[in-house]
Structure 1
């Protein structure tokens, strides 16, 4: 399956070269019935090959959206709700769910409304569950690890997606549970009674599991005999006081032992997933011996030259504004660099005709590239309109046009 993009002055399109196994019935049912949140498409025959043309005007793919936004739990739930709604709506038309594409490049969000749109490709035969599992592997690398709810929900959703026979409804229920309740509500009953040693550890800033390791390492010493009945009463009083103190202390600190342990396990597991998928986990690393050889001073200077630590800035690009509006030049100090009218854009151009996320400039070694982010009024480079995802190399004094506004690359 091949994907390419084209656009004209007013509309932007995605073209997918279909597999030869598609059926005319699927095309007919999709065209005759308006299915909510599915991209509308038309079959196009070019050079003996059948392509499907999807209109994507005013929309951005999920992978581009996540470059400038965090993947929050509300966005995750909304995406799943939309997908489940599509699966239910296409069943009466006898359309196969395997035709729904779940790769990040084929899932779109509409600018402004933030509605999700999915791509249906007739002839596609990948099961929805398999496509969703691959999507989860991609999303785990995009979540904000400081968002405890999202980390826990995503990891549990990924674990569920690896089980045989799971359903999308089960994944959605997991998200609902984490979204409607605070993380602190997930405390096992067995964790409610806490010893005085753990309370003292909390006061000193020691994590509970660290204190347990220290206690296990210390041998038990014989203690003097207590009076009959004294120890039992002291233990009951201490536990009651410790329980009351710990609850207040945990609330003031904003965390609890159970969720802290689970959160650390989730983060550690997520960090291991890419290596596990590629089969590159190596639990034991052999230390390479360090060999020191005499080096001539002149050779050392050639291999490790002294770097001047002055006020000179790192190489950067500048877009000089050539219009009549009150817009300052744009200095790009990091890449990728997104230009648009949104406050979240790296280079803010708040003027009519410029989309919220209009264009993106990237850098590869010493070369700069510009690409359009499916903007409403288009991006031009030296008079040539760029299609969505089309990257063009920038040279000195090239003219970039965003809508009607022009900039010169310096």
Structure 2
């Protein structure tokens, strides 16, 4: 087992591994991973402290698998991307004459940049630390039971590993068969070229697959209202001008010609038609604007209600009267540690967001889809902190955040956990909360 420490300086977070004897023996591998930036591996630095060899792995803005999937399931697409990138890094390691079995395939040491979806592996020159069976146990425990294809693949791979018949190329052929059937979108190449895919293109596709779609959905259409107004005016102005011209023509006839009774009836009908042509576009335009304004107000109200439901989980207990359990004269004894509400209440006057800790585990951050609760605050990391239960206690874990997680003014080390108690002040980035 590794002796792991986490360290944070001004701009970087590091995972530190001590020498278990293999770093001193495998100097070539140690130098190759520390002196070269190998794509797909965590960047590492070699340091000598007190006569010991230490490897500092940079994990800034990255999350380990156990943190990402601690509260959600893994689907087929995630499994495909993982094994495809595992194949990519295995082939790259061969160019550097590095042993692929030295990749530490444990959930706590496999990291992902959740902004891009790219995986980063930890290389440590000790083949015995690979532990692929432990990784498959993690996949089995977190696989989406509703995704039958993912369940089948995970159990097949686990069976191959248990029989010591696991070959990565054979597993990727299952995904290649999906490509032939039109199911795969990860850009695998044909087997005629001797490789399943091109390494660089594959990673780029994996990085951009998800976020191209999200960018299209999230790109604001700033000219939409302007286009609608131009289209509306282009329809009603010709009708209005026709009515004005008709009214002018009727005025000309009325003042320059002497009309009979029958002709005056026709003239009156013409005035009615001109009035309809003039007034109906005006009424229609202003009615359309009023309806549009009403919808905007309604949408804002819905957004406010959604935001309140998302962040402000309510003060359900605000009006509840506490029943005394024991009375000493006129003083009521309240064992509030047992009756705590398990909520974090914001102390920020501008952002009144409450975090309900009734349903754990709960991850908090600003990247929608990656966390259980989204808080749109610039000082928050994409995955900032995690709340979990340890027996009867509630723990807070810093998820390698940039601006830090604080308990009573003391900053937690990256990936460190601490028990929180009622009355504690919790700070996530710039947001301050009080635990009750």
Query: Does 1:331 pair with 2:356?
Result: yes
CA contact (8 A) 1:160 1:171 kept: no
The answer to whether the 8 Å contact 1:73/1:175 transfers is: no
- Flag the 1:80–1:32 CA change in 2: closer, same or farther, 3 A: same
> 1:81-100 counterparts in 2 under 5 A?
81-100=84-103
Instruction: Tell me the distance in 2 between the aligned counterparts of 1:113 and 1:343.
Output: 13
- Indicate yes or no: 2:72 matched with 1:69: yes
Match of 1:258 in 2: none
Structure 2 counterpart of 1:7? 8
- Cα 1:167/1:69, change in 2 over 3 Å: same
Q: C-alpha offsets along residues 222-273 of structure 1, whole Å, 9 cap, x if unaligned? A: xxxxxxxxxxxxxxxxxxxxxxxxxxxxxxxxxxxxxxxxxxxxxxxxxxxx
Counterpart in 2 of 1:116? 119
Cα distance in 2, alignment partners of residues 326 and 91 from structure 1? 52
Separation in structure 2 between the aligned mates of residue 5 and residue 85 of structure 1, nearest angstrom: 28
Contact 1:149/1:178, CA 8 A, preserved across alignment: no
Match of 1:223 in 2: none
**Kindly tell me: are residues 50 and 316 of structure 1, through their superposed partners in 2, closer, same or farther at Cα, counting changes over 3 Å?**
farther
**Which region of structure 1 is more displaced relative to structure 2, 58-67 or 358-367?**
358-367
Shift of 1:91: 1.7
Matched pairs, number: 278
Change (3 A) 1:381 1:88: same
Separation (CA, whole Å) in 2 of partners of 1:173 and 1:13: 36
Q: Which residue of 1 aligns with 2:223?
A: none
Contact 2:71 2:361 in 1 (8 A): no
Any gaps of 5 or more consecutive residues in structure 2?
A: 184-337
Query: Contact 2:365–2:382 at 8 Å: present in 1 too?
Result: yes
Q: Aligned residue for 2:382?
A: 356
- List runs of 5+ in structure 1 lacking aligned partners: 184-312
Structure 1 residues 54 and 327: CA distance shift in structure 2, 3 A: same
Q: Secondary structure at the match of 1:26?
A: helix
8 Å CA contact 2:386, 2:397 repeated in 1: yes
Contact 1:73/1:179 (CA < 8 Å) preserved in 2?
A: no
- Provide the rounded CA distance (Å) in 2 between the counterparts of 1:134 and 1:396: 37
Q: Displacement, 1:372? A: 0.6
Distance 1:354 1:133, change over 3 A: same
Q: C-alpha offsets along residues 16-71 of structure 1, whole Å, 9 cap, x if unaligned?
A: 12221332211222233321110011122334332211010000001111124321
- The answer to whether the 8 Å contact 1:337/1:361 transfers is yes
In structure 1, the partner of 2:153 is 153
Is residue 378 from structure 1 mapped to residue 380 from structure 2 by the alignment? no
Relative to the length of structure 2, the TM-score reads: 0.59
Higher relative contact order at CA 8 Å, sep ≥6: structure 1 or structure 2?
1
User: How do 1:255-266 and structure 2 match up within 5 A?
Assistant: none
Counterpart residue number, 2:173? 173
Q: Which protein is richer in helix relative to its size?
A: 2
For residue 182 of structure 1, report the CA deviation from its aligned partner: 9.0
Q: Report the TM-score when normalising by structure 1.
A: 0.63
| Residues 77, 176 of structure 1: 8 Å contact kept | no
Tell me, what secondary structure is at the counterpart of 1:397? coil
Give me the whole-angstrom Cα distance separating, in 2, the residues matched to 1:326 and 1:404: 11
Question: C-alpha distance in 1, partners of 2:35/2:364?
Answer: 39
SS in 2 for 1:357: coil
Answer yes or no: is 1:27 the counterpart of 2:30.
Answer: yes
Q: How far apart are 1:97 and its partner, in Å?
A: 1.8
CA distance in 2, matches of 1:361, 1:166: 36
Residue 59 (str. 1) matches residue 85 (str. 2): no
Report the equivalent of 1:387.
413
Is residue 379–residue 430 contact of structure 2 (8 Å, CA) maintained in 1? yes
Of 79-88 and 172-181, more deviation after overlay is shown by 172-181
Superposition RMSD in Å: 2.4
In 2, Cα distance between equivalents of 1:329 and 1:164: 50
Structure 2 residue corresponding to 1:106, chosen from 85, 109, 128: 109
* Greater radius of gyration (CA): 2
